[in-house]
Amino acid sequence: MRLPFPILSSCLVSFLMASLPRALAQSDAAPPAAADAQGEVKGSRSFEIPAADASESLASFSRQSGSALVYVVEQVRGVRTQGIRGHFRPRDALERLLTNTDLTVAEDRRTGALIVKRSPPSRPSERGSMPASSRSESSSSPNSPMTPSLMSRLAAALAAFSGTALSAQTNSSPGANAARDDTVQLSPFTVVSEKEYGYRATNSITATGIGSEIYRTPISISVVTSDLIRDLGAGSLREALLYSTSVTGDRRDPGSSGTGGSAMRGFATQLLVNRLSASVRNPVPYFIERVEIVKGPNAVFFGRVAPNGVLNVITLKPKSSTETIAHATYGSYDFVNLFLDQNLKLGDRVSLRLAGNWLDQRSGSYDYTYRRSESGYAALKWDFTSTISLNVTASIDHGKENKLSVSPRTNPAYIAYTRANPTSTLGLIQWGAQFVAPNTPVVTDYYNDLYDPTTVFSSGVRGNNNGPDAFQEDWNTFVQTELLGTFGDGLSARLAHAYGDNEFEILEHIGYPTFNGTFPLAAPNYRGTKTRGNTLEAEAVASFSLLGTRHQLLLGGRLYFPRTGSFAAAGRAYTWNHLTQGDRRIIRDGYPNGLVKPAVVYASGDETALYAIDQISLWDDKAKVLAGVRRTEVENNTGLAGAATLSQTETTPQVGLLLEPVKGWAFFGNYSRSFEPQFNVDAEGKIATNVEGEGYEFGFKSQLLDGRLSGTVSYFDLTRKGEVRRDFTRETLTGKVPLFIPGGTQAAHGAEFELYYNPKPNLQFIFNYTRLWEANVTQDITQPFIVGARLRNAPPYSSALWTRYTVPSGRLQGLFFTGGVRASGEIIPIVNALFSIRQPGYVNVDAGVGYEGKLLGRPVTIGLNVKNVLDREFYDGQWTLADPRTAYLKIETRY
């Protein structure tokens, strides 16, 4: 099975989606009220809410009541509410809170959610004269029709589904409201989250496939919000993740795979965009709404992944109002970034968002380095009916960079050694491995040796040895189409398609010196990869009650068709002498010395999967059970003439349990398996078995002080086993080559602590700490001497603290300060069987200051970010040389 041309397939899916509303029009009819509406509450609760603006007091009410509450921020802002203190039923407490205001209470008959609205302006005589209880009772009478605004009704359904309070940011037109008498039920595949707590997000859709409250999900989840990304001054996705738990970076250049080579808990991390595989290398941070970090195997949701989890980038969504955002940044080393974001409200049902980003760093912090990119983004939301909506997202990005390259080839000590040892095979062995006896690993200090010209491993320079004309360049394109719908009380469906296309190229020099310091083998090396893929996913969620328990049963299927190719070519070699021609290799022209770009042969790895996950609520939501299973089949073809298609299948289960014996404290456990297919075929025609991942995790989550304090503490144990190795013993005995044996195993176990704390609305803290007691190679049949070696990007500990303080009042109102400290332990990754590199631990400090207010009558934000305040020299992730102290001045306005 193959999909047609990607753009055409997206259009076809969109057409099919657009044809559904007429056939499903009956789904708009309001069904009878649910017998066990989630908004129903039993007994009284303790309330202590001071008199305040309604936007603040309603937020306090939602946290203290635990009831589903919906209100439009613009409608309630400016209304002064009463203060209440004591034990009340939530409905009674809300009515007391709104006494002597023009705010009324209504109840959604379907979901039971409480809705706060303003009285119509045409009836001023009734404002404040009718007791709140009378107004609310008449509004919520089961025999009276309800016509809340579209945004309120959308938010109400999700609020009842997730058990959290939501506030719509805009209101639809009165005429449109009057014309609609149906009750909207929002699809559980959509997450709407009010940013009540700044950096803290309350909901996630990545971990369980549907919108779920993070606190009540038996999986470790971290969320990087757009507020945090902005305050960090992140210029890349990797920088946006620097203060996240367990996530470490590898290379900062845009040509590196995934998220810039990010790893988590010791293993490489898969990147998704809007929950779909899209072959995107480096999403533009300004196009990101949030990043959800889901930890653990969790393959029941994501298919073939490593056992550590995934990173899911959720891109910008259209807003329900017309707004323009302009942003400009200027910084050290001629850094310039311009960003423009246009939101358009096209009638009552259609919203469009267009954005563009341009970045130019004309000279980097080291010789011969630069970075440039141009990007465009578009997102469309079309509500066909009150229960069916279409989302289309598209992005295109082009980036080019001259990366930092460090090698020992120009080091005077290196050349001196070759002169003293003319018979040495220096040019045939990588890096420093030739200086040790066979089978004897050596650890060298990469950081110190880099700048010490007397050591053999140093480049002796701080720059790009490849010269000013070397480059790496990539192009990213993705198009995603998604249809969401709800049908009746308990059924929702999702149909989505994604197409991603990435091309990466690099031009550099290769070669090794001889004893006299020349490079007879030096040549321009041109190589790259091309990846494109189509993903089609269909899911349905059935919500129902059974024997006193509530269920959300997710059934889904996925088709994924990736195509990956690579190429490499070298131009004519030439001789270059360090002693007479300087310490740089200079590349001229685009493709010098007869270099010809070769054809690309594409390999495929088609995936078909079916999965089922049930999320069960017990004992008034004091217990949550998650159970699921996924069946995945992967077919591989190398693309070469006559190549056979190979197939691998795997079943991956997952179970999780969460208990909340005391309000605000929940204990959870999670077990899952994952897999990564291998398609090595031996001389007997046997296919290597899959790499298997297995992991469990347990700990507790907290949500205290009305949600102002929340955190997660967990212990995890992960195993990845089954990487094939050559079975040299059997090859010798049988004479058959090659023969394989599953002889590679790695393991990681440790603990994580993550805390969000908002002691005051204008003060925020994020703190996290990770301890990796083990992240090592535990078995290797053919290389037993590397057993015990540390996995890449797996420091024994890492921690981060980030804070923001805003002056709340007075002459300095709107002034804010940000700052953070990151620390990492020593990393000793394996380069090859004989050689490892030690990268010492480090402590880094970042800071910022800014102002949020109005300038010339327009909202404006002005900020200054200073990174690496102490100007330390260290490797921030494996082989990623951190920038020296840099400063970035930014200004943003909205109109």
How far are the Cα atoms of 109, 276, 498, 669 from residue 301, in angstroms, in the given order? 33, 11, 17, 17
Could you give the CA distance from residue 36 to residue 329 in angstroms, rounded to a whole number? 53
Neighbours of 57 (CB within 10 A): 23
Residue 239, pLDDT above cutoff 80: yes
For residue 738, whether the previous peptide bond is cis, meaning omega lies within 30 degrees of 0, is yes
Burial, 228: exposed, middle or buried (Cβ in 10 Å; 0-12, 13-18, 19+)?
Answer: buried
Neighbours of 155 (CB within 10 A): 28
Of the candidates 498, 501, 500, the one whose C-alpha atom is nearest the C-alpha of residue 538 is 498
Of the candidates 509, 674, 479, 653, the one whose C-alpha atom is nearest the C-alpha of residue 575 is 509
Task: Indicate the pairing of strand 388-402 with strand 471-487.
Answer: antiparallel
pLDDT reported for residue 134? 33
Mean pLDDT of the chain: 75
pLDDT-above-90 percentage for the chain: 29
Question: Could you tell me if 650 and 644 are in contact, meaning their C-beta atoms sit under 8 angstroms apart?
Answer: no
Amino acid at 242: L
pLDDT reported for residue 109? 52
pLDDT reported for residue 27? 37
pLDDT reported for residue 403? 66
The confidence band for 298, taking pLDDT boundaries of 50, 70 and 90, is confident
Residue 461, pLDDT above cutoff 50: no
Rounded average pLDDT over 652-678: 92
Phi, psi of 255 (to 5 degrees): -80, -10
pLDDT reported for residue 11? 41
Lowest mean pLDDT among 128-142, 493-507, 591-605, 679-693: 128-142
Could you give the CA distance from residue 126 to residue 373 in angstroms, rounded to a whole number? 59
Residue 543, pLDDT above cutoff 80: yes
Higher pLDDT, 330 or 170: 330
The confidence band for 522, taking pLDDT boundaries of 50, 70 and 90, is low
Mind listing the pLDDT tens digit for each residue in 86-125?
A: 777 788 888 888 887 888 888 765 456 788 887 654 433 3
Higher pLDDT, 829 or 418: 829
Residue 821: beta bridge partners?
A: 801, 845
Residue 716, pLDDT above cutoff 70: yes
Burial, 6: exposed, middle or buried (Cβ in 10 Å; 0-12, 13-18, 19+)?
Answer: buried
3-state DSSP of 120-139: CCCCHHHCCCCCHHHHHHHH
Lowest mean pLDDT among 462-471, 542-551, 600-609, 842-851: 462-471
The confidence band for 250, taking pLDDT boundaries of 50, 70 and 90, is low
pLDDT reported for residue 365? 62
Residue 127, pLDDT above cutoff 50: no
Higher pLDDT, 251 or 20: 251
Task: Look at residue 298 and give its three-state secondary structure.
Answer: coil
The confidence band for 339, taking pLDDT boundaries of 50, 70 and 90, is very high
pLDDT reported for residue 832? 52
pLDDT reported for residue 783? 74
Lowest mean pLDDT among 517-521, 523-527, 734-738, 745-749: 517-521
Lowest mean pLDDT among 351-355, 443-447, 472-476, 878-882: 443-447
Residue 892, pLDDT above cutoff 70: yes
**First-to-last C-alpha distance (Å) of the chain:** 49
Mind listing the pLDDT tens digit for each residue in 643-661?
A: 888 888 999 999 999 999 9
The confidence band for 83, taking pLDDT boundaries of 50, 70 and 90, is confident
Mind listing the pLDDT tens digit for each residue in 41-71?
A: 345 677 878 877 887 788 788 777 767 788 7
pLDDT reported for residue 487? 87
Question: Could you tell me if 559 and 607 are in contact, meaning their C-beta atoms sit under 8 angstroms apart?
Answer: yes
Could you give the CA distance from residue 541 to residue 552 in angstroms, rounded to a whole number? 6
Tokens of 503: 């091309």
Global confidence as pTM: 0.75
Mind listing the pLDDT tens digit for each residue in 188-219?
A: 777 654 444 568 888 888 878 887 888 889 99
Would you state the torsion angle of the CA atoms of residues 80, 85, 91, 94, taken in this order, to the nearest 10 degrees?
A: 10
pLDDT reported for residue 420? 61
For residue 307, whether the previous peptide bond is cis, meaning omega lies within 30 degrees of 0, is no
Residue 761, pLDDT above cutoff 60: yes
Task: Look at residue 333 and give its three-state secondary structure.
Answer: coil
Rounded average pLDDT over 477-502: 91
Rounded average pLDDT over 17-23: 39
Question: Could you tell me if 830 and 819 are in contact, meaning their C-beta atoms sit under 8 angstroms apart?
Answer: no
Lowest mean pLDDT among 79-88, 153-162, 711-720: 153-162
pLDDT reported for residue 212? 82
Could you give the CA distance from residue 621 to residue 571 in angstroms, rounded to a whole number? 66
Lowest mean pLDDT among 532-546, 734-748, 780-794: 780-794
Question: Could you tell me if 295 and 860 are in contact, meaning their C-beta atoms sit under 8 angstroms apart?
Answer: no
The confidence band for 333, taking pLDDT boundaries of 50, 70 and 90, is confident
Mind listing the pLDDT tens digit for each residue in 804-848?
A: 999 988 999 999 999 999 999 887 766 555 455 667 789 999 999
pLDDT reported for residue 366? 64
The confidence band for 460, taking pLDDT boundaries of 50, 70 and 90, is very low
Place of tokens 């040895």: 465
Diameter of the chain by CA atoms?
102
Could you give the CA distance from residue 80 to residue 98 in angstroms, rounded to a whole number? 9
pLDDT reported for residue 416? 57
pLDDT reported for residue 24? 37
Residue 136, pLDDT above cutoff 50: no
The confidence band for 566, taking pLDDT boundaries of 50, 70 and 90, is confident
